Structure 1
């Protein structure tokens, strides 16, 4: 039997949950993600009721993406310059304060949108700091990759449960009352992190370089640059069917039930794929599946060329999600390539790029669909995305033996 597989089966996610600090991090992440999803839905409803404007209502969702670039760029250095627990707790308290301010009666719409921007502004710092601090909690080996996988699955599950939960809440609560629950969720997250994790020193004490120093260090190294792009770019193309699901469902005459099922297919497949890779495979096997799975991950989108009905489309989207299992192996390569003193900035940059580029991918897909039919747009995304992935895989093969030497990151060593 494959030794890597044996190790994965014996340890898997159970070992990750055996770490008390990780349980606190996982609980805090679950609370804050669900709170944020409820906030997005409640704020959208509240803004629409106050203004009657579909544009302003939709803008509340867009504001979850737009400030990421600015926040991730300006705040990235904080992730390594200050103790991680302190940064995480302060970010949660900022979000709790913003949500609480939204609850106040009479808060104008402009202020509601500004508060939503503030929550999104600190989000990349929080995510990057938390992902970097996982190495302190779980070590830098395979357990760290499984921990990151679990946090990703929480985010995917929030798409499935969060909006449903938010919808139920809004049948019995006013939007401002639902926002109060969001504030409570962020306070609970802050408490779990403050009392459930250890205080550790900053990784780069005294480093006063510009916020762009981490980005230059990441993109200045060929291996790390290629790994970062391999994390960023495939989701830009994979997001196309989700962005255009409603108009496509309308074109083929599907109802709202079918639309709901189709919207769930990709996240369900993604969760299932990561669970399989995390439980059935060991570290070596996870690395071996990166190239074959990544190479074919977007090919099911080519089925759009024949205008498939709901059953075929469900299968295609599930396959795209299942192929996402390659991310665990890619994560292992990324963690191995990032120097410790660069970890916080690199993880913040990773979170910033993922969110920003997915938002850009949604916008580009929508723009393209204004001029050509939806099936053509999604098929083109599958073709272009597959070509992009193959180029990145070739780059990863050329840099397989490269690592970032500690003295060449351009950052202060500690």
Structure 2
């Protein structure tokens, strides 16, 4: 434990790291407040669940459609200028959202807001390795994940209070202010954070057709060059489907099947989120590539068993315990996989890989909600959790076998 704390203290001694972490946490809190405000605004229109579904879809759409461009900008554009511009665009969009009230205008401005996020977010990740000693980016990622887990719920709570007292515009103006803090943090970064392409970096992949314009092909090429990391990253996508598919039926399992109250449902969500924060911090115990890979593979399998346990839980407390375990393991997985991406890949393609993972994860999340609703409707919430866990277990087994083959091929090649 002391060694983990020393590792984190080492990266926190870097002033730029403290600035980036603080600004990012503030921005996450602002985003959560804005999300609450936007959902409540759309709810008040009386247009029904479809309008909220459209809003949630628009929040993820730019991340999917711009991942090719976002990856290219992250790896080739001046990072400081890009981060400042995208933060200012998001701030302006948030101010405009506070000023308008119509549903159509809200949807259009949400697209603008999220496009700014989609184009800037991969660059924020790509600059991290340039701020810390080699091999230390994973520690910063773990701290980012932990702070995100704390700042998100806090921001949502503040957003709810602001909407209750002053209306949605107050929460949206708060979000606009946090983007200004993000822009200020970007200005403090060094003038040149881009690394040089090394001999190990794959050559830029040419774009072909519309798919080449959407997908960050350089990111895919970089993952092909590191088969083990490629397996771990790609395994996240079906895991997103199996994990998020139960979101649509979770409330029915907790409230209707297990007979828990509204406060207990909220407690389960809080425990899951808190455990993820602990998991992100604990991931710092894995410091070598081998340890990280083995930990991720083990966590994949344990998450699957945790989902099955949730589905078969005889009572609320058992469900709560399994939920805490799943949250803890997901915190470990998210921190370690992103840490591997930033520490192991060449500087020329980190942004493209981050954009690829973000975009495909959003697309997988949309598919997950659809599948979860179908399975939950046909078989009930318990069946949905068990089926999701079985799917996660299959993904874990395939990923472990693929990594084993890749390691064998490397050692005998």
Q: Same fold (TM over 0.5)?
A: yes
Question: Residues 128 and 344 of structure 1 are in contact (CA less than 8 Å); yes or no, is this contact kept in structure 2?
Answer: yes
Q: Which residue of 1 aligns with 2:190?
A: 198
Structure 2: distance between partners of 1:281 and 1:225: 19
Secondary structure at the aligned position of 1:289 is classed as: helix
TM-score computed with the length of structure 1 as normaliser: 0.86
Question: Residues 286 and 326 of structure 1 are in contact (CA less than 8 Å); yes or no, is this contact kept in structure 2?
Answer: no
Q: Does 1:389 align with 2:411?
A: no
Please state how far the C-alpha of 1:361 moved relative to its aligned partner: 1.7
Q: Which residue of 2 aligns with 1:68?
A: 63
Q: Which residue of 1 aligns with 2:375?
A: 368
Please state how far the C-alpha of 1:332 moved relative to its aligned partner: 4.8
Structure 2 unmatched ranges of 5 or more: 198-203, 208-212
**More displaced, 44-53 or 63-72?**
44-53
Structure 1: distance between partners of 2:81 and 2:238: 32
Structure 2: distance between partners of 1:220 and 1:277: 25
Structure 1 unmatched ranges of 5 or more: 404-414
Match of 1:232 among 209, 233, 237: 237
**More displaced, 30-39 or 196-205?**
196-205
**More displaced, 127-136 or 41-50?**
41-50
Question: Residues 42 and 170 of structure 1 are in contact (CA less than 8 Å); yes or no, is this contact kept in structure 2?
Answer: yes
Alignment: residue pair count: 393
Q: Which residue of 2 aligns with 1:412?
A: none
Residues 245 and 162 from structure 1, CA distance in 2 versus in 1: closer, same or farther, beyond 3 angstroms? Answer: farther
Q: Which residue of 1 aligns with 2:156?
A: 163
Q: Which residue of 2 aligns with 1:353?
A: 360
**More displaced, 297-306 or 257-266?**
297-306
**More displaced, 64-73 or 50-59?**
50-59
Match of 1:15 among 1, 10, 19: 10
Secondary structure at the aligned position of 2:71 is classed as: coil
Q: Which residue of 2 aligns with 1:102?
A: 97
- Output aligned runs, 1:1-400, within 5 Å: 8-9=3-4, 11-105=6-100, 107-141=101-135, 143-194=136-187, 196-200=188-192, 202-203=194-195, 210=207, 211=213, 212=215, 213-218=217-222, 220-221=224-225, 222-252=227-257, 253-278=259-284, 280-283=285-288, 285-324=291-330, 325-400=332-407
Show structure 1 runs of 4+ deviating over 4 A. Answer: 201-205, 284-288, 326-329
Question: Residues 266 and 321 of structure 1 are in contact (CA less than 8 Å); yes or no, is this contact kept in structure 2?
Answer: yes
Give a deviation string over 1:301-347, Cα, whole Å, max 9, x none. Answer: 11244353221111011111222324444445434542221111112
Larger helix proportion of the pair: 2
Please state how far the C-alpha of 1:52 moved relative to its aligned partner: 4.8
Structure 2: distance between partners of 1:358 and 1:157: 22
RMSD: 2.6
Structure 2: distance between partners of 1:293 and 1:397: 16
**More displaced, 47-56 or 252-261?**
47-56
